[in-house]
Amino acid sequence: MDSFTKKILMALGIYAVFAIIFIILFQTVFMLSFIPSGSMEGTIKTNSVVFSTMYDVNEEDLERYDILTFVAPDDPDITYIKRLIGLPGETIEVKEGKVYADGVELDSSFINELQNQAGDGIYEVPEGCYFFMGDNRNNSNDSRFWDNPYVPIDDIQAKAKCILFPFSNVGSLIYN
């Protein structure tokens, strides 16, 4: 085998190893999500690409206001990305455009327009489950409207960390 052929085979081998590592990482550790809808507008624009991590979605890692990807409760073939609003055991009340957890009004600084009263109600979040809402509250198919309004911990896939595309919107999605 001549020197040129050896170099080509070596380059292909290195490429194959990196490709396998990349595939394994994006099956077990990281997730890229294309966002096709406007339910998170204000925070994540339609047609954005979001980078998420899959290793920090245990019960002790989840906090209110995290943006998470999860299996849609009413259709397991769909993945949603929404903001975590209700924690296990809490009573969430959506009333007159505001959201309360156990009687305490929640932060709404990340929504762009006054929330209408669609989906107003009281939601008792079961243990081991979570309640989600989109940041574009007036145009979001979220926990308020699903037949099964609560997402079990096992259906949560990843925690959104940052927007990668479009480049004009690159930035962190971690709530401060």
pLDDT digits (tens, 9 = 90+) for 32-64: 999 999 999 999 999 999 999 999 999 999 999
Distance from C-alpha of 99 to C-alpha of 106, rounded to nearest angstrom: 6
Catalytic residues: 39, 82
User: Is 103 exposed, middle or buried, given 0-12, 13-18 or 19+ CB atoms closer than 10 A?
Assistant: exposed
**Per-residue pLDDT reduced to its tens digit, 65-114:** 999 999 999 999 999 999 999 999 999 999 998 999 999 999 999 998 88
- Torsion, Cα 142 147 149 151, to 10 degrees, reads -100
Distance from C-alpha of 170 to C-alpha of 45, rounded to nearest angstrom: 11
Domain 3-168 belongs to what topology?
Umud Fragment, subunit A (2.10.109)
Domain residue spans of the chain: 3-168
Tokens in use for 16? 């194959």
Question: Of residues 97 and 158, which shows the higher confidence score?
Answer: 158
Distance from C-alpha of 97 to C-alpha of 168, rounded to nearest angstrom: 31
Taking the model in full, what pTM does it have?
0.89
41: helix, strand or coil: coil
66: helix, strand or coil: coil
Task: Please name the residue that has the structure tokens 């962190």.
Answer: 172
C-alpha separations of 79 from 32, 36, 138, 175 in Å: 12, 11, 20, 21
